[in-house]
Each structure stands twice: as structure tokens, then as C-alpha cells.
Structure 1
Amino acid sequence: MTTTTLDTADKSPREYGALAVTIHWAIFFAVIALFASMNYAHSLDKADPLRRTLYDWHKAVGTIVLGVAVLRILWINIHGAPELVPSPRITEVIARISHGLLYLLLIAVPVTGLGMSLFSGRGVDLLGIPPLAKNEALAGALHAAHEPLFLATVAVVFIHIVGALWHQYFRHDATLGRMVPWLRAK
């Protein structure tokens, strides 16, 4: 009898597959690139053409992150996710809340950024997305929400990383190996 990574009775795989792992790390590195590019763009003079180029790429990559995050959420809803490794109740609660917040923020941050751009009369040129009817009040509200939502994302990612490292180096369980394949037990 062959063992699979999916228990068909409960739709809950024992580990994340290659696609889920790839999406996880693609989003992680894209978010780092988005943060770094905006920090660098803000350090440039407003007349510097590189600043506009960085903004254009930021909008395009952010829009792609939105699409990939939606795909990840759909994938998990269709294929399931592994159950949490048994832990003290408080850490399981923190893990569930932080995962839910991460998914919510991975939608909210790019939606506010995309909306801010589209309602400011600018499209996403690199992806061929035209602007919407200009609405400065809505664009301003989305702009005001974009950075605090991103900072919330950084905080939740920090909690997520601390939790993963805690599982790896203090609990010595299989949690981190789910997203870092070379740490998986053979």
C-alpha cells in the first residue's frame, strides 16, 4: 500500500506540497523586494527617473502578489493545509490568528496600494491596467491605510518567523520542515 501526503477523508495533507512551498517563498521574497524598493525610491529625488521606475515595478509586483495570495488562499481551501503540530494551546491560538491575519493582510495591503494608484488616476502600466475614474478622497483613504497595513504585516511576519524558529530550535518538531523542504525528516 502506498502512502500519500493527502488523507482523503479529511482533505488535510501531512505536509505542504511543492507548489504551496514555492508560493509561500515567492510571496515572502516579493514582499521584501517591495519594501526595499519603496525605501530606496523614497530616498531618491522626486525628479530622478529611477524613482518613477521603482514605483512602476512596485505597483506591478504588488498586484502580482495580490493575485498569487488569492491563488494561495484558494489552493488551501481546495487542497487543505496540514494540521498544526501539537503544541501548548496558546501557541496554537497564536499560530491560527497569525496565519489568518497574514492572509488577510496579503490581500489588504495590495488592494489598498492598487486602489490608491487606480483612483489617483494612475494605472499599473507594466501590467496594462488602466486607471479608474479619479476619486481623490478614496485614493487618500487607501493611501492612509496602505502603510499601517504593511507595518502590521511586518509585525505578523515577525511573530510568524519567531514561532517557526521556536518550533525548530526549542521544540525540535517538524513545523519548519513543512516550508523548508531540506529540513524535513527522511
Structure 2
Amino acid sequence: MSDLISVRYNSVARALHWSLAFLIVMEYLIGLTMGDFGIKWLHLQLGYAILILVVVRIIWRITHKAPAMDSSLSRMNQILAHSGHGILYLLMLAIPALGLTLVITKGVPFNIFGIPISPLMEPMAKASRHDIKVVHVYLAHTIIIMAAMHALVALLHQFVLGHPILSRMLPEKLANIIEHKDGKK
């Protein structure tokens, strides 16, 4: 087993990472087109799923230490990586939480995964709900930009700078293929 494999994220962390990445991209695309296709219900349900998975991911992260970063990374790169991850976690929590706030503040019954929920409060003023929606949408654009930057930086480190960052989050067989392509053993 290579040194790379010993510093990889565990299988649960990898599954949560890639599941959330997929769901967030799908949620964003659905959010852009839901008015055209009458699929707001799908957007809402995926948002609830994302919120639940993010909470699970945070609990997992708190209870399971992340592997150490590549020691060849500069202190500044390590600070940037931690900051970027922190911002992504905040966005992953804030966006679905704001979406849920929009649902709750409408003051009408709704459902979560088919479970009916009675109105939890009186309707909020339309202007206030509009402001929440604007923030929800802007943060959704922001997380897509941040996720793209996250992916590009991982690719840059893996294939240009020679730091096995991407490999840490990939399944073992794929990580080994990439490791050998980079000329590492």
C-alpha cells in the first residue's frame, strides 16, 4: 500500500463528498429550470436531502479525523484549503436552510419526503420572503463557483504541482491509476 492510500479519506467521507457534489450540481440545475418544467417539488425534496446529508457529513467530520495534508504544501496553501472547505460547509448548510425557511415562512402545509407538515408559523411578509429568496439564489451561484474552484485547485495540485490531493478523495482503484499516471509508485 502506498503512502497516498494511507492519507486518503475514509469510504464514508468519500461517499458523502461525491453524493453531495452530485446532488448540489443537480439541485442547482433544477433550481435554474424548475419554473419551466414544474419540478419545484423535486428542488424542495433534494434540498431537504442535501441539508440532512450535510448535517451527517459534519457529524462524521467531527467524529472522524481527516487525513493529514501533504507536508509539501505551504502553510498558506493549507490555510487556503481549510478556509475554502469552511466556506463550502457554511454554504452547504446555509443554502438549504434558507430554502427551508422560504417553505416554512409561506405559512401553508408542506411535505418532507411525503410526510405532511402543518404550517409552522403565520405567513411572513412577501418582501421579507423575497429578500430571503434573493440571498438563497446568490448563495447557490456562489457555491457552484466555489465548487468549480475547489475542483480546479484539486486538479492543479494533482496533475501540475504533483500533490496527491485529488487522489485522497477518489476510490482506491482510481487513485492508484492516477498515481501511476503521475509516475508515482
User: TM (normalized to structure 2)?
Assistant: 0.81
Sort the Cα spacing of 1:27 and 1:16 in 2 relative to 1 into closer, same or farther, 3 A: same
Equivalent position of 1:143 in the other structure: 133
Summarize deviations over 1:127-182 as a string: whole Å, max 9, x none. 42523213323533321210111122122112211110111111222211111121
Query: Is there any run of 5+ residues in structure 1 with no aligned partner, and where?
Result: 6-12, 45-49
Aligned-residue Cα RMSD (Å) equals 2.1
Q: Is the 8 Å Cα contact of residues 165 and 176 (structure 1) preserved in structure 2?
A: yes
- 1:173 correspondence with 2:158: no
**Amino acid of the residue matched to residue 150 of structure 2?**
H
Summarize deviations over 1:68-122 as a string: whole Å, max 9, x none. 0011011010011112223123222211111000111100000000111111134
Following superposition of structure 1 onto structure 2, how do residues 3-18 of structure 1 map, counting pairs within 5 Å? 14-18=7-11
Q: Is the 8 Å Cα contact of residues 48 and 112 (structure 2) preserved in structure 1?
A: no
Following superposition of structure 1 onto structure 2, how do residues 9-158 of structure 1 map, counting pairs within 5 Å? 14-42=7-35, 44=36, 50-51=37-38, 54-86=39-71, 87-122=73-108, 123-124=110-111, 126-130=113-117, 131-137=119-125, 138-158=128-148
Aligned pairs, number: 167
Kindly state the Cα deviation for residue 125 of structure 1 after the two structures are TM-superposed.
5.0
Q: Is the 8 Å Cα contact of residues 57 and 126 (structure 1) preserved in structure 2?
A: no
Q: Is the 8 Å Cα contact of residues 95 and 140 (structure 2) preserved in structure 1?
A: yes
Higher relative contact order (CA 8 A, sep 6+): 2
Equivalent position of 2:182 in the other structure: none
- Structure 1: 4+ residue segments shifted above 6 A: none
**Amino acid of the residue matched to residue 175 of structure 2?**
L
| SS across alignment from 1:124 | strand
Sort the Cα spacing of 1:30 and 1:154 in 2 relative to 1 into closer, same or farther, 3 A: same
Query: Is there any run of 5+ residues in structure 2 with no aligned partner, and where?
Result: 180-184
| SS across alignment from 2:70 | coil
Identity score, percent: 26
